[in-house]
Amino acid sequence: MSNPWEKIDLNDYENHMSLENVYQLQVLNEMMKEQFNAYDIDTIMVLGIAGGNGLEHINKKKIKKIYGVDVNRNFLVECKKRYIELENIFDGICVDLLSDNLALPCAELLVANLLIEYIGYECFQRVVKLVKPQYISCIIQINLTDSFVSDSPYIHAFDCLDEVHHQMEKDNLINCMQEIDYKMQKVSEKLLPNGKKFVRIDFSQ
């Protein structure tokens, strides 16, 4: 069975995310700058990297390797085109995190933004155990209304995601990470249009 994210067009995704009444691409970019510079590390893995939003904030003098993981091969191709300046340190990995025979390299910082919603807590625990990061930085979307996708001209491009979406709760994620010996380090929030907010939660061993 294919992953519905393989069917998503990157232009539809980014155009939707950057609309004034959605404004998620812009807020994510700001928050990722903070994530990438929060810890003294030199390897990073970004889960669900899409088109590479935020990669312009990577400090090439400090970071030796960045792994971009996505199930959509077209996303990774575009990501490499956009950030040619990172070609010596960027490694794109096309894999479905829900697959049974999952293998991933290790990284000191694991970044998972708007990703856990589509794989669930147990799968995320499995990914963390494989990557063995010292630090984890997650951004989850909390919906203060019934819809997890904001209304826009592109909304029907995401209809297929209903089958894999999980509603996120901050406390549930914290408990999930505690089960595998990761302690919460910080929490911050950013309000968004349309009754939504981003919650960033960082963990460390």
Nearest to 190 by CA among 76, 13, 26, 10: 26
pLDDT at 16: 81
d(CA 132, CA 72): 24
pLDDT at 158: 55
pLDDT at 154: 44
**Residue 162 CB-half CA count within 13 A:** 7
Nearest to 141 by CA among 9, 18, 4, 24: 24
Domain range for 160 = 4-204
Number of domains into which the chain is organized: 1
- CATH number for the domain spanning 54: value is 3.40.50.150
pLDDT at 163: 58
Q: Would you give per-residue pLDDT tens digits along the chain (205 residues)?
A: 578 888 888 888 888 888 887 888 899 999 999 999 999 999 999 999 999 999 999 999 999 999 999 999 999 999 999 999 999 999 999 999 999 999 999 999 999 999 999 899 999 999 999 999 999 999 999 877 655 455 555 454 555 565 556 677 899 999 999 999 999 999 999 988 877 899 999 999 9
CA separation, residue 16 to residues 21, 153, 158, 185, 193 (Å): 9, 8, 10, 32, 13
